[in-house]
Structure 1
Amino acid sequence: MKKLRTPNTTYRVQLHKDFTFDDAAGIVAYLHALGVTHIYCSPYLQASPGSMHGYDVVDHQRVNDELGGRAAHGRFCRTIGELGLGQVLDIVPNHMSLGRENRYWWDVLENGTSSQYASFFDIDWQPQEERLRDKVLVPVLADQYGRVLQAGGIKVVRHGNSFLVEAASQTLPVSPRSLPAILARAAEYAKSDTLSFLAASFGRLPEAESWDRWKILARHRDKIVLRKLLDRLCSEEPNVCDAIERSVAELNGNLNGLDDFLNQQNYRLAYWKAADQQLGYRRFFDVNTLIGLRVEREHVFEETHALILDWLGRGVLDGVRVDHPDGLRDPLEYFRRLREAAPGAWIIGEKILEPGEFLREDWPIEGTSGYDFLNVVNGVLVRPEGLAELSSVYADFTNEPTDFHEIAHEKKINVTQEALGSDVNRLTSLFVEICEDNRNERDYTRAEMRRAIREVAACFQVYRTYVVPERGEMTAEDRNNIAQATECAKQKRQDIDGGLFDFLRGVLTMEVKGKRETEFVMRFQQFTSPVMAKGVEDTAFYCYNRLTGLNEVGSDPGRNGVSVDEFHSYCAKMQATHPLTMTTLSTHDTKRSDDVRARLAVLSEIPGKFGIAVQRWARLNSSLRTSHLLDRNTEYFYYQTLIGAWPLTLERAKAYMLKAAREAKQQTTWVANNKEFEDALNQFIEATFASPAFIEKVEQFVERVKGAGRVNSLVQTLLKYTSPGVPDLYQGSELWDLSLVDPDNRRPVDYELRRRLLKEIHALPVAEAAATSMRRMDDGLPKLWTIHRALQLRREHPEWFGVEASYTPLEVDGKSAQHVVAYLRGESVVTVVPRLTLTLGGAWQKTMVLLPEGRWINRLTSAVLEGGRVAVETLLKEFPVALLTREAQSHA
């Protein structure tokens, strides 16, 4: 096995059909010049046709053809290697995309429980509804099944020796055991004993359970032989083909016969709305087309990871980012297996941590994908007193509730009732069986149990727990989280007997044990993470709009910021426990880019001025609000969007606001569009963009906060590159980037511009480059300069930022001390950055930072300073942030 290199820095690229391996190869030289050590790619195994993100994998053993396939992948990897860079890949173990391109899924639809791959997917083959036993619900129809059938929207077609069902622009396989309905009639028409034999043989194919592998393989072999014989018969006797076509046509014309034939399949076609309550397989959140994998099964792990592990083994990859580990049945066991297979790999997990929560130290991985860092940095840039005042501004403008936790709880309950209803029903059926086996609980009704499960799930303050009954594993943290959630549920649902919640807590904490109890615990833990994600991130974050820049994955936007001491405490904890975790500011999933959040943070410094501004804007635009449906909360959200992302085009504004309104699910939703509201929203946005008076007011306000926002951007950027961890740079954000949520943040990146700007500043002496970048602020040069210099330093001296490097807060004194974040890494690097600079107004009032002894060089300006008490004003005179190294060890 080739020795793998731990990344020092990464650069995230989003690959798709319009930005392929060859396109990515074209920017490798630029990334090398910038100072990046590893390119970090979005998933690039074979995905669904047209995928723009790669998370909808259909084949784990192929490189995505739309990206250029194996040949282009080889060219890309060689280019990386030739320039000395490494590579990290985003991988998706939790789920696969459905469709014909997914041969595992196709085989399951065709053969049901007798499929070779039935064990690959998390399917409930024995649900409560008897009509769905041993069947997969396929909710693709635009209307009720019977109506679609009556209208001719479902038909059977023949392609060679295969038969397909066509419905809702999709094709589905036909069960071999159902073919006698077609072939036996055709045999009569063709007077063919051979065809009659084949028809009977298809009908006699054995049924097999997923555990009976030999029987499954024998069935598969017999099926293939029978198909070959049918194909041969058709080629030798054309009248047989004609007879089959006649039989198929008659079947399509016979409503009852077609219905009976469809009922023989291993799936049941259904109205798409049935999915929320009746779906029998675990999904990725509420996405029907992404089915959960049973990766905890060793053969599933091996088959879905073979290519990835081969790349890691050969050094094609140095590491992986594991998508959504909380969706896995047993994340710890998964990471242990992955670590054993790739002992030298840098492994990070997309684990979303809530405030105060930390990654489990027994997970054999380097850390998270960085949302925890993002939120701590975001929090330290806001003014607590200003946030408290913004609560009043928000309430006065919208008359909306301002208790975020109550809003989040309500949205979580809603999502368990609607989008995740089928998951609740599955858990309820299990819990009913458990209660039936315990005489003290058997008289609780199914409805009570369903409500109790929903309430407890909604009360969890973290994504999930990690109890493993099979190994008797449960931490004190898990026990406390379960106790908190059940006590919360008791208080909120006093109409339900508290004993039911006590019993549920007993099951979740292994006080009540058994096979069903184990299954319930494992499934419940997989359930609470989508409740949090869909209820909070994808709903509440678009409803609670006090300061939208705080509404980020893993954040508590109801919290009034993070103190400097809390920031230092977090960094010290990371250095001690996960010094190689990822640190990031923007990802493909962030609600807003780092620069948008940096600008919006300034509003916490001027809450009164912001409140006056939005009230004036609302009065100015009152005549443009042509519908009573356009609510004040949406309008408030819109004004913040303009402030954060200005300048933006009308089309970007409309697309983003439509997405935000649908996510909020207050006036319109993705599944039930309120056309009247959406039209009113679009008309309002168009009218405001056409109002010179309003646009002028917006531009004046943006001008007031833009400078402080840019300083915030430089602050968080330098913190990212010098705090404990491996910093990641999201594509294109080395310049000012005012992107919103996807797909806005996946717009094409102008790399030619970035190459040119980097070349310009790289050619200048340090002091001149710093001055030039400040003069060309609008071009984004200060951000590029900060990133480039930090990357160069990290590449020259990775040991200064690695596992052995310490983290020490530096002493700051003076009246403006709380406006400074300063710390020492090891003995060689000092970071000094300002915060809350708009309210500071440059009045440092002799605030001093105590530098360790020695001569220090500012790597951003080339200024030389002596150790001891140094005025912050002096440190930040020429450039908004300071990155210092000891002269004796410096190569500036």
Structure 2
Amino acid sequence: MSVPSSTYRVQLRPEFGFRAAAEIVDYLRELGAGALYGSPVLDATPGSTHGYDVTDPTQARPELGGESERKALSARLKDAGLGFVVDIVPNHMSVEVPKANRWWWDVLRHGRASEYAGFFDIDWTRGRLLLPVLGDDAAVAELTVDGDELVYYEHRFPIAPGTGEGTPQEVHERQHYELAGWRRGNRELNYRRFFDITNLAAVSVERPEVFAETHGEVLRWVSDGEVTGLRVDHPDGLADPGGYLRRLRTGAPGAWLVVEKILHPGESLPQSWPVDGTTGYDALREIGGVFVDPAAEPVFTRLAAEQGARTGYAEVEQRSRRLVTDDILVAEVHRIAALLNGVDAAAARAAVAEVLIAFPVYRSYLPEGAAHWAAALERARERRPELAPAFDALDSRVRGAPDGELATRIQQTSGMVVAKGTEDTTFYRFTRFAALNEVGGSPDRFGLDVAGFHALAAGRAAAQPSTMTTLTTHDTKRSEDTRARLAALSEVAEEFAAAVRRWSARRGIDEPALNLLAWQTLVAAWPISPRRLRGYLDKAAKEAKLRTSWTEHDEEFERAVEAWPDEVLGDAGLAADVEAFVARVRGAGWSNSLGQKLVQLAGPGVPDVYQGTELWDLSLVDPDNRREVGYRARREILDRVRAGEQPEIDETGAAKLLVVHKALTARRDRPELFTGYRPLHGEGVAADHLLAFERGGRLAVAATRLPLGLERSGGWRDTVLPLRAGTWTDLLTGRAVGDAPRVAALFDRYPVALLVREES
């Protein structure tokens, strides 16, 4: 099995293709990475900056350099001793530019007679394929004909053979598709999509012939030894995730295989899945949580209530999910309800929506996860007892045929409702404490105690030692260092609340949830340009869907939000006040950053480092987190660190690169140290501020938690860390320490330590 010691994630794009990735391979080897982990590399929508909009899964993307440069990158990695992990997208393909997707183009041209008609999840019983691309239905009058194509501005569509005579409108009426106003998409779409994105059409990968066509090229790379691992995007959208993963494992028996599966607290991966683990959002939640002070919860709750924001998480989440079922994924709800033959249509739709809203996790995988299905039914019945007959019918038919269409579609759709309703709506509405509002996070759970952290880490070491762990991804709402500074706010909660009251009175945003989020973001990402902050707040306001949205604009409110960054940063007194507050928590944020990074890198699982985060990275949600990485500066710092420099903890972030380099190199060169898991506990008055564990009997990790509280209480004082007998060396400083080091001395240079016990 090709399990890497660690991975380094890069975002490939036309400006940073295979050749550019090959140019950083030597740097990654010297940094200590075990594998390069790349975003999707198959052909995608022209100009795509992320690659998840695949248009042709049978070839390496020409805009990244094509097949020749892909092979050159693979060879370079192999020569350097690094693995190559590729991100694959089995659930959907892009149809934004129809001609770029030859399968979709053929379906549009030939309809159900196309040899690719079964490749996409289309409901052909509902007439022509609806394409919601027009400004409104009346825009059909603006269509023109150009040869054998129907044209609407920059959009082009094929004309079926023998149907090209007459006016453009007459030609349009004869096609296998109907061009419609974009607003009709949410209610009338008759093909499954990725969430609410009509430009991404779902693929029927459960069909063996579709799997073969969509995966043949990638599996060839695996078979040839050019790809050593696969990261599977969005398995929850698939009709049969378990069956798909078993087929994938058969095709790639020696590959490291991880899935982008978001687990709620207490949820486990289905035990039938032949995978090495998840992409690490569960670890992110746990590692981040242990650096948050739970004592701050009532302070932040009071502040949110005072400002007029909602403080009941369950209510906000339920409302957000209902918005998704009632306004956004209406077509999907109707398609499922139509399968409940014999049940009143209105009752069927209401029952389906209520169950989707009530899911305690993203989805079940019947017959696995039956308890989650039962919990959703029970909660739905409590909310809408008058729908009991419809719930009974739904339950009996789903349980009676767990692999039938009804069960399949409701399980596929529950993940969409949870993701859109929770991650993409609730997390922008329930903004009490933004450090917890992360993919895979639980904002209603304010932090995690040390005992709880140890139990979860030990469980990961025992059950899934080869799972990925992460702190930052291309999908996180904010980067690890941004969250680390936010975590520090939990230690000065009263001071921060007073500051927010003061700042809001002077320059508040007229929407409470966004106002709270804006001040937290400003402090967490400081210094930040007005342009970056403007882009973030615009996205946050539209995702929240409270005063404006992507489709229903409040222009006046959007102008006010757009002006806010310049107004705040241009207000000298206010900006100085914010900067002074940032200075109060910056050091604690750095301490948290180093602590959580070392815990991730040395803890159970295969750690991933997101591009550029080996230095401080105060990024926000995409596209902010996909900015160009300055590798020249990182190479220079790494050279100094490898030469023996022990950098100060300062704004350069060099201290973080030291931690990353030492931990990754140890994992790669001494894998025997990174096995098992044993909690360690400090002794002394400040022991609660120490997070420590042992691995392999000869490696110990120690990190400072809640550093501001530690400072207020008088520091480490007599606290010691008992270790196994012997001489231990801190890999970060090179110093030898005894087997019961005083923590004050252990942390006199850095707030973390990576200790190895050398055998005589």
Same fold (TM over 0.5): yes
**How far apart in 2 are the matches of 1:609 and 1:142?**
50
3-state DSSP of counterpart to 2:749: coil
Summarize the alignment of residues 376-455 of structure 1 with structure 2, pairs less than 5 Å apart.
Answer: 376-396=286-306, 398-431=307-340, 433=341, 436=342, 442=343, 445-455=344-354
**How far apart in 2 are the matches of 1:330 and 1:177?**
39
**How far apart in 1 are the matches of 2:140 and 2:214?**
37
The answer to whether the aligner puts 1:506 opposite 2:396 as a matched pair is yes
User: What is residue 493 of structure 1 aligned with on the other side?
Assistant: 384
Q: Per-residue deviation at 1:361?
A: 2.6
**How far apart in 2 are the matches of 1:429 and 1:649?**
50
Matched positions, count = 756
**How far apart in 1 are the matches of 2:381 and 2:617?**
46
Counterpart selection for 2:133 from 140, 157, 161: 140
User: What is residue 601 of structure 1 aligned with on the other side?
Assistant: 487
3-state DSSP of counterpart to 1:848: coil
Would you say the 8 A contact 1:833–1:880 is kept in 2? Answer: yes
Q: Per-residue deviation at 1:873?
A: 1.9
The answer to whether the aligner puts 1:166 opposite 2:39 as a matched pair is no
Would you say the 8 A contact 2:75–2:226 is kept in 1? Answer: no
Q: Per-residue deviation at 1:464?
A: 0.2
Would you say the 8 A contact 1:390–1:607 is kept in 2? Answer: yes
3-state DSSP of counterpart to 1:87: strand
- TM (norm. structure 1) is 0.83
**How far apart in 2 are the matches of 1:579 and 1:485?**
31
The answer to whether the aligner puts 1:149 opposite 2:22 as a matched pair is no
User: What is residue 652 of structure 1 aligned with on the other side?
Assistant: 532
Q: Per-residue deviation at 1:813?
A: 2.8
3-state DSSP of counterpart to 2:500: helix
After superposition, the C-alpha distances for 1:692-737 in whole angstroms (9 at most, x for unaligned) are: 0011001000000010000000011001111111110000010000
User: What is residue 864 of structure 1 aligned with on the other side?
Assistant: 736
Would you say the 8 A contact 1:736–1:783 is kept in 2? Answer: yes
3-state DSSP of counterpart to 1:299: helix
Summarize the alignment of residues 752-791 of structure 1 with structure 2, pairs less than 5 Å apart.
Answer: 752-764=632-644, 769-770=645-646, 773-774=647-648, 777-791=650-664
After superposition, the C-alpha distances for 1:27-82 in whole angstroms (9 at most, x for unaligned) are: 11111111112101100100000000000011011111111112222222222222
**How far apart in 1 are the matches of 2:751 and 2:62?**
46
Counterpart selection for 2:11 from 14, 19, 34: 14
User: What is residue 670 of structure 2 aligned with on the other side?
Assistant: 797
User: What is residue 669 of structure 1 aligned with on the other side?
Assistant: 549
User: What is residue 613 of structure 2 aligned with on the other side?
Assistant: 733
**How far apart in 2 are the matches of 1:812 and 1:881?**
14
Counterpart selection for 1:806 from 656, 661, 676: 676
The answer to whether the aligner puts 1:116 opposite 2:6 as a matched pair is no
After superposition, the C-alpha distances for 1:132-174 in whole angstroms (9 at most, x for unaligned) are: x2x2101101112xx2233xx112221xxxx111124211111
User: What is residue 172 of structure 2 aligned with on the other side?
Assistant: 262
**How far apart in 2 are the matches of 1:49 and 1:18?**
13
Counterpart selection for 1:483 from 374, 379, 385: 374
User: What is residue 458 of structure 1 aligned with on the other side?
Assistant: 357
**How far apart in 2 are the matches of 1:845 and 1:504?**
62
Would you say the 8 A contact 1:486–1:502 is kept in 2? Answer: no
Would you say the 8 A contact 1:38–1:86 is kept in 2? Answer: yes
Would you say the 8 A contact 1:388–1:560 is kept in 2? Answer: no
Counterpart selection for 1:873 from 713, 737, 744: 744
Summarize the alignment of residues 314-325 of structure 1 with structure 2, pairs less than 5 Å apart.
Answer: 314-325=224-235
> What code does the residue aligned with 2:449 have?
S
Q: Per-residue deviation at 1:687?
A: 1.2
**How far apart in 2 are the matches of 1:421 and 1:498?**
22
**How far apart in 1 are the matches of 2:580 and 2:544?**
29
The answer to whether the aligner puts 1:709 opposite 2:589 as a matched pair is yes
> What code does the residue aligned with 1:641 have?
T
3-state DSSP of counterpart to 1:451: helix
User: What is residue 81 of structure 1 aligned with on the other side?
Assistant: 78
**How far apart in 2 are the matches of 1:820 and 1:448?**
55
**How far apart in 2 are the matches of 1:388 and 1:575?**
34
Q: Per-residue deviation at 1:878?
A: 2.1
| Residue ranges of structure 2 left out of the alignment (5+ in a row) | none
User: What is residue 63 of structure 1 aligned with on the other side?
Assistant: 60
User: What is residue 694 of structure 2 aligned with on the other side?
Assistant: 824
User: What is residue 102 of structure 1 aligned with on the other side?
Assistant: 101
Q: Per-residue deviation at 1:761?
A: 1.6
**How far apart in 1 are the matches of 2:140 and 2:390?**
44
**How far apart in 1 are the matches of 2:553 and 2:310?**
24
3-state DSSP of counterpart to 1:497: helix
Would you say the 8 A contact 1:859–1:884 is kept in 2? Answer: yes
**How far apart in 2 are the matches of 1:412 and 1:479?**
22
User: What is residue 564 of structure 1 aligned with on the other side?
Assistant: 450
**How far apart in 2 are the matches of 1:715 and 1:294?**
44
* Cα distance change of structure 1 residues 177 and 425 upon mapping to structure 2, 3 Å threshold: farther
Q: Per-residue deviation at 1:341?
A: 1.0
After superposition, the C-alpha distances for 1:618-647 in whole angstroms (9 at most, x for unaligned) are: 22336xx7xxxx223222211101011000
Would you say the 8 A contact 1:482–1:508 is kept in 2? Answer: no
Q: Per-residue deviation at 1:800?
A: 2.1
Summarize the alignment of residues 33-72 of structure 1 with structure 2, pairs less than 5 Å apart.
Answer: 33-72=30-69
Counterpart selection for 2:24 from 21, 24, 27: 27
**How far apart in 1 are the matches of 2:180 and 2:562?**
34
Q: Per-residue deviation at 1:260?
A: 4.0
Q: Per-residue deviation at 1:551?
A: 0.4
Runs of 4 or more above 6 Å deviation: none
Summarize the alignment of residues 275-286 of structure 1 with structure 2, pairs less than 5 Å apart.
Answer: 275-286=185-196
After superposition, the C-alpha distances for 1:303-355 in whole angstroms (9 at most, x for unaligned) are: 11111011000110001100001111111111111111111100000001111
The answer to whether the aligner puts 1:375 opposite 2:375 as a matched pair is no
> What code does the residue aligned with 1:156 have?
V
Which entry has the higher C-alpha Rg, 1 or 2? Answer: 1
After superposition, the C-alpha distances for 1:821-866 in whole angstroms (9 at most, x for unaligned) are: 1111111110111111111115224223221111111111122222
Q: Per-residue deviation at 1:682?
A: 1.7
**How far apart in 1 are the matches of 2:12 and 2:734?**
38
* Cα distance change of structure 1 residues 849 and 502 upon mapping to structure 2, 3 Å threshold: farther
Would you say the 8 A contact 2:433–2:443 is kept in 1? Answer: yes
**How far apart in 2 are the matches of 1:482 and 1:296?**
22
Task: Point out the more displaced range, 68-77 or 276-285.
Answer: 68-77
Would you say the 8 A contact 2:428–2:513 is kept in 1? Answer: no
The answer to whether the aligner puts 1:577 opposite 2:476 as a matched pair is no
> What code does the residue aligned with 2:681 have?
E
| Residue ranges of structure 1 left out of the alignment (5+ in a row) | 128-132, 183-250, 253-257, 437-441, 468-473
After superposition, the C-alpha distances for 1:65-118 in whole angstroms (9 at most, x for unaligned) are: 111112222222222222222210000011101121111000100111100001
The answer to whether the aligner puts 1:539 opposite 2:434 as a matched pair is no
**How far apart in 2 are the matches of 1:550 and 1:149?**
47
The answer to whether the aligner puts 1:694 opposite 2:571 as a matched pair is no
3-state DSSP of counterpart to 1:883: strand
- TM (norm. structure 2) is 0.97
User: What is residue 615 of structure 1 aligned with on the other side?
Assistant: 501
Would you say the 8 A contact 2:304–2:310 is kept in 1? Answer: no
